[in-house]
RNA sequence: GCGCCUGUAGCUCAGAUGGACAGAGCUACGGACUUCUAAUCCGUGGGUCGGGGGUUCGAAUCCCUCCAGGCGCGCCA
C-alpha cells in the first residue's frame, strides 16, 4: 500500500517500470528507502545526489499517500518516513469493514486457469513427496482464485499405466487363489484384509511384486498379458483394474481431504484413450507438419517430434528427438500428454464424457470423466478451454514437459505454448536417520535417500498426518480437542511443505518435520487463536470498541508500527505470488505477520517497564485502537491462513 | 559428453527485479508466567555467502571458470 503509492508517482516522474525499495541501515533515516537515483545516475549522466534532490522537490508537490517526510542521504538514497497514523486511519477501518474481501482484486471474468496437481499413480498409498505436490498445487489455486482468476483444479488419474498393471497382476497372480478366466473376482478382492486400508495393502503388494519378479520371471509374462487386457478395455480384467484404481483414488482423496485439498475434476487416462484424443492429436500433428516418420536410424519405424537429431554421448549414439508413436504402433506417455494439453486449452475437437463423482467435505461437487457420462455441452459448466495451464509436476519431468510445450509451439499454438506453465519443484527425500527408522538400507555416505514406491520405501502420508497429530497432542500443555489436534496437524504439515523454495530439495527428517515451536504452522495458528482470545475476553467484559479516527495514538509505538507495516504488505505479497507462483513467499509473509503481532502483544509499549493488557487499559481511546488493531490482525491473518489452506482456529 | 538445479551461522532454511554493517528458526547459555494463551518473549554467542576471476559507484544476487552434490538426457510413465 505504502510503497506502491510512492512507486506509482516515481514511475510517472521517471518513466521507469522498476522502482526498487529497501530498508535503510538506521531507523532515523526513514522507514524505507530507494536507490533508484544511483542506478539512474549513469544514464542521465548526472550525480545521484542532484537527481535525488530534484526528485524530492517533485515528490513533495505530488505528496504520495502515507508519506510524512522525505530526505536524501549520500550517495543518493531517497529515504521515506511513513505517516503511520495516516496509514492506520485508512487501513484499520477498511480491514474491519471488508473482512475476507480486504484488498481482494476484482474478478477477471473470462480468464481461466487450469491447474493440475496430485496425479499420483492409483496403485498404492500416497507418501509425503506426493503431498508436497498436492499442497503446492492447492495453495497456488487458492491464491489465483483470490486474485480473481476463474480456476479449475484437476487430478489426473493414470489408470492404464504400468504401475496399475503391476498391482493388478500381483493381486491376481502372486498368491492363491489365482484368478481364473471367467470368475467374478470376489475371491480376489477377499485377499485384501479388512483390517488394513486398501491403499496400504497395495503399497506392500506393489513392493512385493518387484521382488517376486526377480525370482519368478513368468510374472513378467503375466504382466504383459494384463497390460494388453487393460489397454484393450474390453476384458473383465480391465473392469477389475478400473475398480482397483477407483478404490485407491478414494483413498487418495480421503488423504488429501485431511489437508483441505479438493478438486473440480478427475481426469482418467483410460478416458483419454477411449475418447480418441490421441487419434485426433495424431492427425493434427501430421497436418501441422510437426511429426516425422523415421525410416532409418535408431528410431526407425517411429513417429517423432524432431528436437536435434542423433548425437554421440559417452553411452553411445542417442536420439534427442522425442518418440510419440513406437515402431509397434503404440503411443508413448508424452504423446498422450500432448493430446491432454491440447484438450486443456480447448484445441482438440474431442471431449470427455462427464459425471458426478460425489460431494466433497468442503461441500463442492467433484466431477469425473467417465465412459457412461454425459457430453460436456449438456452440463451447466464447461471443463477445459483454459487460457492458462499450470501443471504441478516434480522437476525430474522438466524435459518431457518441455517437449509437450515445444510441440504445441511447433503446431503453431504459440499463445498456448506461452501460457503452459510447468510448476516444477524438487522432490522430497529422506534423511539418513529417517531412512534408518523406516528400515531402509543405508550405504552410509548419502545425505539423502529417495523414496521409492517400487521398493516400498517412504513415509506414507496418512501415517505422517497421524504422527504429527500425536506430537501436537503430546506437546500441548493442556488436553486438546480432537478437531483442534487435527487442525493443528494439518496446518503444521502444509506449512512445512510450503515453506521451502521450489528449487529446494526437502530432506525429510522426523525431528525437523514434527517440530511444534518457532517457524512452524503451529506458531501461525497460535498467533491467530491468541488474537481471537483477546477479542473474546474483551467481549466477555463488555468491551466492544467502536472505531474512531481520533483513537489513533501519536506517536505510535514500534511494535504497533511493525504490525501496521505487516498488514499493509498483505495485498502486494499475494499479488506478487500470483505472478511468481512461489508459495514459500506466502509462508514467509505469514510468519512475519504473526511475529509482528506477537511482538505487539508481548510489548505494546516497548519503552515502558510494564506492559498493560489491552483489556485493562484505562485510556479508552488507546484500548479502542489496540483492540481494533488486534481485530485487523485476526482478519488478515485469517485471510492469509485461508490462502495457504490452513484452518483458522479461534482457540487452541 | 550435453542440459537443468543446488552450495549462505553448528543444524534446517529465507534473502524476486544488483543497493547502505548478510536475516530467521532450531541448538547452546542466561533471563521473563498471581497477567489479554509462555506452543510465547527478551538477551548472549555464532558467517571470507563453496573457491577464484570479471562487470559495476556498489555483487549472496549478473557473467566466466573451477570444486562439491542432486536430477534429467528410455520405443518407462
Whose C1' is closest to the CA of A522: which nucleotide?
Answer: B39
Q: What is the pLDDT of residue A444?
A: 64
* CA→C1' distance for A49 and B58 (Å): 15
H/E element, A355 = strand A353-359
Do residue A578 and residue A485 come from a single domain? no
Residue A446 lies in a domain: yes
Residue A369: name the closest of A280, A277, A284, A281 by CA: A277
Query: Closest protein residue to B73 using CA and C1' atoms?
Result: A320
Domain boundary among A82, A105, A124: A82
Angle (CA) A34 A66 A8, round 5°: 55
Do residue A509 and residue A575 come from a single domain? no
pLDDT digits (tens, 9 = 90+) for A46-79: 888 888 888 888 888 888 889 998 988 878 888 9
Where residue A62 sits, what CATH number does that domain have? 3.30.1360.70
How many Cα atoms within 13 Å fall on the side-chain side of residue A591?
A: 18
Please tell me which residue, A37 or A151, carries the higher pLDDT value: A151
Looking at chain A, the whole-number percentage of residues with pLDDT higher than 70 is 98
Whose C1' is closest to the CA of A598: which nucleotide?
Answer: B40
Q: How far apart are CA A627 and CA A117, in angstroms?
A: 41
pLDDT digits (tens, 9 = 90+) for A570-617: 999 999 999 999 999 999 999 999 999 999 999 999 988 889 999 999
Residue A443 in this model has a pLDDT that exceeds 90: no
Residue A390 in this model has a pLDDT that exceeds 70: yes
Do residue A478 and residue A533 come from a single domain? no
Do residue A503 and residue A548 come from a single domain? no
Q: What is the pLDDT of residue A171?
A: 95
Residue A66 lies in a domain: yes
Do residue A531 and residue A493 come from a single domain? no
Averaged over A620-647, what is the pLDDT?
A: 96
* CA→C1' distance for A428 and B10 (Å): 24
C-alpha cell, A281 = 492429436
pLDDT digits (tens, 9 = 90+) for A226-262: 998 998 888 999 999 999 999 999 999 999 999 999 9
Provide the mean pLDDT of chain A: 92
Do residue A436 and residue A492 come from a single domain? yes
Whose C1' is closest to the CA of A474: which nucleotide?
Answer: B39
Do residue A501 and residue A570 come from a single domain? no
Do residue A560 and residue A467 come from a single domain? no
User: N- to C-terminal Cα distance for chain A?
Assistant: 32
Domain boundary among A513, A540, A572: A513
Looking at chain A, the whole-number percentage of residues with pLDDT higher than 90 is 73
Residue A215 in this model has a pLDDT that exceeds 70: yes
Residue A17 in this model has a pLDDT that exceeds 80: no
Comparing A98-112, A195-209, A503-517, A632-646, the range with the smallest average pLDDT is A98-112
Q: What is the pLDDT of residue A612?
A: 93
* CA→C1' distance for A500 and B69 (Å): 18
* CA→C1' distance for A87 and B32 (Å): 33
* CA→C1' distance for A527 and B38 (Å): 13
* CA→C1' distance for A601 and B35 (Å): 12
Q: What is the pLDDT of residue A312?
A: 65
Residue A358 in this model has a pLDDT that exceeds 90: yes
Kind of pairing between the strands at A420-425 and A322-325: unpaired
Domain boundary among A61, A82, A103: A82
Phi-psi region of A55 (alpha: psi -120 to 50; beta: other; left: phi over 0): alpha
Which nucleotides along chain B are within 7 A of a protein C-beta? 1, 4-6, 12-21, 24-27, 35-42, 56-58, 69-77
pLDDT digits (tens, 9 = 90+) for A540-570: 999 988 999 999 998 999 999 999 999 999 9
Q: How far apart are CA A396 and CA A163, in angstroms?
A: 18
* Domain that includes residue A616, residue range: 519-643
Amino acid at each position: 500500500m505504502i510503497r506502491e503509492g510512492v512507486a506509482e508517482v516515481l514511475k510517472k516522474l521517471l518513466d521507469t517500470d522498476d522502482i526498487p525499495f529497501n530498508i535503510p541501515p538506521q531507523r532515523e533515516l526513514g522507514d524505507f528507502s530507494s536507490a533508484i537515483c544511483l542506478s539512474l545516475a549513469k544514464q542521465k549522466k548526472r550525480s545521484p545526489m542532484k537527481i535525488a534532490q530534484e526528485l524530492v522537490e517533485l515528490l513533495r508537490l505530488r505528496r504520495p499517500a502515507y508519506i510524512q517526510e522525505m530526505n536524501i542521504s549520500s550517495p543518493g538514497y531517497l529515504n521515506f518516513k511513513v505517516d503511520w497514523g495516516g496509514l492506520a486511519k485508512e487501513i484499520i477501518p477498511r480491514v474491519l469493514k471488508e473482512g475476507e474481501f480486504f484488498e481482494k482484486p476484482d474478478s477477471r471474468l473470462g480468464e481461466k486457469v487450469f491447474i493440475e496437481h496430485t496425479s499420483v499413480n492409483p496403485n498404492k498409498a500416497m507418501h509425503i513427496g506426493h503431498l508436497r505436490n498436492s499442497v503446492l498445487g492447492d495453495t497456488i489455486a487458492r491464491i489465483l482464485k483470490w486474485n480473481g482468476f476463474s480456476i479449475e483444479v484437476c487430478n489426473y488419474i493414470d489408470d492404464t499405466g504400468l504401475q496399475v498393471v503391476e498391482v493388478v497382476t500381483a493381486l491376481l497372480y502372486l498368491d492363491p487363489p489365482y484368478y481364473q478366466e471367467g470368475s467374478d473376482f470376489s475371491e480376489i478382492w477377499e485377499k485384501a484384509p479388512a483390517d488394513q486400508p486398501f491403499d496400504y495393502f497395495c503399497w506392500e503388494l506393489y513392493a512385493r511384486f518387484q521382488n517376486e519378479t526377480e525370482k519368478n520371471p513368468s510374472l513378467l509374462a503375466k504382466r504383459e498379458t494384463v497390460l494388453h487386457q487393460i489397454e484393450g478395455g474390453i476384458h473383465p480384467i480391465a473392469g477389475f483394474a478400473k475398480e482397483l484404481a477407483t478404490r485407491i483414488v478414494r483413498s487418495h482423496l480421503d488423504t488429501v481431504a485431511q489437508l483441505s485439498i479438493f478438486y473440480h475434476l478427475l481426469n482418467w487416462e483410460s478416458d483419454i484413450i477411449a475418447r480418441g484424443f490421441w487419434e485426433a492429436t495424431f492427425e493434427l500433428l501430421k497436418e501441422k507438419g510437426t511429426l516425422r516418420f523415421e525410416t532409418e536410424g535408431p528410431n526407425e519405424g517411429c513417429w517423432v517430434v524432431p528436437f536435434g537429431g542423433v548425437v554421440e554421448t559417452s553411452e553411445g549414439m542417442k536420439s534427442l528427438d522425442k518418440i510419440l508413436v513406437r515402431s509397434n504402433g503404440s503411443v508413448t506417455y508424452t504423446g498422450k500428454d500432448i493430446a491432454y494439453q491440447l484438450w486443456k486449452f480447448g484445441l482438440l475437437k474431442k471431449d470427455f464424457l462427464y459425471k458426478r463423482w460425489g460431494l466433497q467435505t468442503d461441500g463442492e461437487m467433484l466431477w469425473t470423466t467417465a465412459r457412461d457420462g454425459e457430453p460436456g455441452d449438456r452440463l451447466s459448466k464447461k471443463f477445459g478451454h483454459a487460457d492458462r495451464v499450470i501443471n504441478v509436476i516434480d522437476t525430474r519431468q522438466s524435459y518431457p514437459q518441455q517437449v509437450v510445450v515445444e510441440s504445441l509451439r511447433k503446431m503453431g499454438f504459440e499463445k498456448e505454448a506461452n501460457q503452459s506453465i510447468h510448476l516444477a519443484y524438487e522432490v522430497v527425500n529422506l534423511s539418513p536417520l529417517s531412512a534408518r527408522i523406516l528400515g531402509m538400507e543405508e550405504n552410509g555416505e548419502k545425505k539423502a535417500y529417495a523414496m521409492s514406491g517400487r521398493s516400498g520405501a517412504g513415509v506414507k502420508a496418512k501415517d505422517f498426518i497421524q504422527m504429527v497429530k500425536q506430537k501436537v497432542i503430546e506437546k500441548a500443555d493442556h488436553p486438546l480437542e480432537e478437531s483442534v489436534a487435527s487442525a493443528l496437524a494439518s496446518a503444521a504439515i502444509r506449512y512445512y511443505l510450503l515453506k521451502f523454495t521450489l528449487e529446494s530439495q526437502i530432506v525429510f527428517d522426523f525431528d525437523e518435520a514434527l517440530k511444534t515451536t518457532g517457524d512452524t504452522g503451529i506458531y501461525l495458528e497460535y498467533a491467530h487463536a491468541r488474537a481471537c482470545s483477546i477479542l473474546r475476553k474483551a467481549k466477555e467484559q463488555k468491551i466492544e470498541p467502536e472505531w474512531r479516527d481520533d483513537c489513533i495514538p501519536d506517536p505510535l509505538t514500534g511494535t504497533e508500527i511493525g504490525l501496521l507495516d505487516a498488514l499493509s504488505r498483505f495485498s502486494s505479497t499475494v499479488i506478487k505470488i500470483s505472478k511468481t507462483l512461489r508459495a514459500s513467499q506466502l509462508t514467509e509473509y505469514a510468519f512475519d505477520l504473526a511475529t509482528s503481532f506477537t511482538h505487539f502483544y508481548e510489548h505494546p509499549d516497548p519503552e515502558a517497564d510494564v506492559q498493560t493488557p489491552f483489556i485493562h487499559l484505562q485510556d479508552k481511546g488507546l484500548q479502542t485502537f489496540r483492540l481494533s488493531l488486534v481485530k485487523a490482525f485476526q482478519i488478515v491473518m485469517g485471510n492469509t491462513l485461508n490462502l495457504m489452506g490452513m484452518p483458522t482456529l479461534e482457540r487452541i
